[in-house]
A = this chain, B = another copy of it.
Amino acid sequence: MSLEDCIRAAADCGALGIEVIPEQSIPGYPHLTDEFVDTWHGWMQRYGTHTAATDLFLDTKRHPDRWLTLEEQVASIRQDVDIAVRLGARIVRAIINTSPEVMAAAAPYAEEAGVRLLLEVHAPFHYEHPWILQHLEVMYRTGSPALGLMPDMGTYVRRFPRVVSERALRDGAKPELVDLVVRTYDEHGDTHALMDVVHYRGGGPADFGLARQATHYIWSEPKAMLDHMPLIGHVQAKFYEMTDEGVEYSIPYDEIVPVLVDGGFDGHLSSEYEGNRHVQDAFPVDSVEQVRRQHAMFARLLGEQDPVLPGAGQTTTGTGSI
C-alpha cells in the first residue's frame, strides 16, 4: 500500500484523524520538500482527513562513540516539531526514551509552535513507575501546556494475546508450557521467574520467547488514567486481534472507552495494529480489515450510529511501531 492508499483506507473506515510516522512514511526525512507537503495537504482535503499527530524518535545513540548532548536532543525534538507544523499536526508523540529534562527544555519551543509534546506511556511503564513519575513531576511543576501524555493501550493487556501464543505453538513451543505462560499471565501471576520455570520444564527457544513476552505485557486498571486526564491529549489504541465478534481479544476496550469518556477525553483513539507480525507466517494479513473492525468497535462503544467518529487510523497499518 502506498501512503495515499493508507490514508484512503483510514478514511474509508471513518477514521479521519491521521497519525503519521515521518521517518517511516516520508523518504528524505528530515528534509520535507514543499512538493511533499503540498501533496500531503492535498490528500487531507481529498479524503476529508486531517493530521492528528506525528511520531518522533530520539536517536540518542546517533553516533557510535558518544551520546547526544542535551542540546542536540532538544534540536532533534525541535526539528520534529517543525515537521509536525508543516504537516498540520498539533500533537507530537515523544518516544518513551525521551528524558524529562529534554521534555522540559523542548517545551517552550513546542508551545510557541502550538504543538503538544506527548510522552508515550508504553508497556511496561505505568503511572507509578519512577520514569513516569519524573516526567509527571516536570509536567506538573512547569505547568507547560505543551507537555502531556499519550497512553499506549498496550499497557492494558488483560489477557495474553492468542495470536502470540498460537504463533509460538506453530514455532514448536510445547503446548503445556504455552498453557503455563498464558495461564500465569492471565491470572496476573508472578512472571518474574517464568523463564526459569519454562526452562526447568525443558522449554526451547519458542517457549522462552513466549515467557519473555509475558514479562513485556502489563495489565493495570485503566481508571489510573483519570488522575491525569488534563495531560492526556491522544491515545495509541494498540491492538493485537479484532475477532469476528468485533472485540479486541486481549485489551478490554469496553472498559477503557468508558473511562476516557468519563474523564472528558476529546482526542483521538489512534489504531496501532500489532498482530500482523504474529500471524504473517501462516495467514494472509488484512491490516485494513483489522483497523476497520477496531473503529466499528469504537463507534459501538461510543454509542454512535454513524461510523464516522473522531478516531484516527494510523498510516502505519502494515508495519510495527513502538
List A residues at the B interface (Cβ < 8 Å): 60, 67, 96-97, 99, 124-126, 128-131, 180, 184, 189-190, 192-193, 196-197, 199-202, 215, 218
Q: Is the CB of A197 within 8 A of B124?
A: no
Selected from B67, B128, B201, B215, the residue in CB contact (under 8 A) with A202 is: B67
Q: In angstroms, how far is the closest chain B Cβ from the Cβ of A286?
A: 33
**Are the C-beta atoms of A197 and B130 separated by less than 8 Å?**
yes
Main secondary structure of the interface of A (DSSP, over half): loop
A300 to B99, CA, bound (A): 49
Q: Which residues of B contact A96 (CB under 8 A)?
A: 196, 200
Specify which chain B residues have a CB less than 8 angstroms from the CB of A124 in the assembled complex: 192-193, 196
The residue from B125, B193, B200, B201 contacting A129, defined by CB atoms under 8 A apart:
B193
Bound-state Cα–Cα, A136 to B139, Å: 48
User: How far does the alpha carbon of A218 sit from the alpha carbon of B196 in the complex, in Å?
Assistant: 15
CB-CB nearest in chain B for A68:
B202
Q: Is the CB of A202 within 8 A of B60?
A: yes
CB-defined A-B contacts under 8 Å, sample of 26: A60-B202, A96-B196, A96-B200, A97-B196, A97-B199, A99-B200, A99-B201, A124-B192, A124-B196, A125-B193, A125-B196, A126-B190, A128-B190, A129-B190, A129-B192, A129-B193, A130-B180, A130-B184, A130-B190, A130-B197, A131-B193, A131-B196, A131-B197, A131-B200, A192-B215, A192-B218
A97 to B99 alpha-carbon distance, docked (Å)? 40
A189 pairs with B130, CB closer than 8 A: yes
CA distance A180 to B99 in the complex (A): 14
How far is B67's CA from A91's CA once the two chains are assembled, in angstroms?
Answer: 54
Least CB distance, A40 to chain B, in whole angstroms? 31
Chain B's closest residue to A128 (CB) is B190
Residues of chain B lying within 8 A (CB to CB) of residue A199: 97
Chain B residues whose CB sits within 8 angstroms of the CB of A197 once the complex forms? 130-131
- Distance between Cα atoms of A201 and B96 in the complex (Å): 12
- Across the interface, A200 reaches (CB within 8 A) one of B97, B128, B180, B192, namely B97
Who on chain B is nearest to A218 by CB? B192
Within the assembled complex, what's the spacing in Å between the Cα atoms of A202 and B68?
A: 10
Per the bound structure, the CA–CA distance linking A97 and B197 in Å amounts to 8
Q: How far is B99's CA from A128's CA once the two chains are assembled, in angstroms?
A: 36
Docked CA distance A249–B192 (Å): 25
Q: Which of A67, A180, A196 has the most CB of B within 10 A?
A: A196
Interface centre among A97, A124, A193, A201 (most CB of B within 10 A): A193
Residue numbers in B under 8 Å from A192 (CB-CB) = 124, 129, 215, 218
| A196 to B215 alpha-carbon distance, docked (Å) | 13
16 more CB-based (< 8 A) A-B contacts, given A125-B196, A131-B200: A67-B202, A96-B196, A96-B200, A97-B199, A97-B200, A99-B200, A99-B201, A124-B196, A126-B190, A129-B190, A129-B192, A129-B193, A130-B180, A130-B190, A130-B197, A192-B218
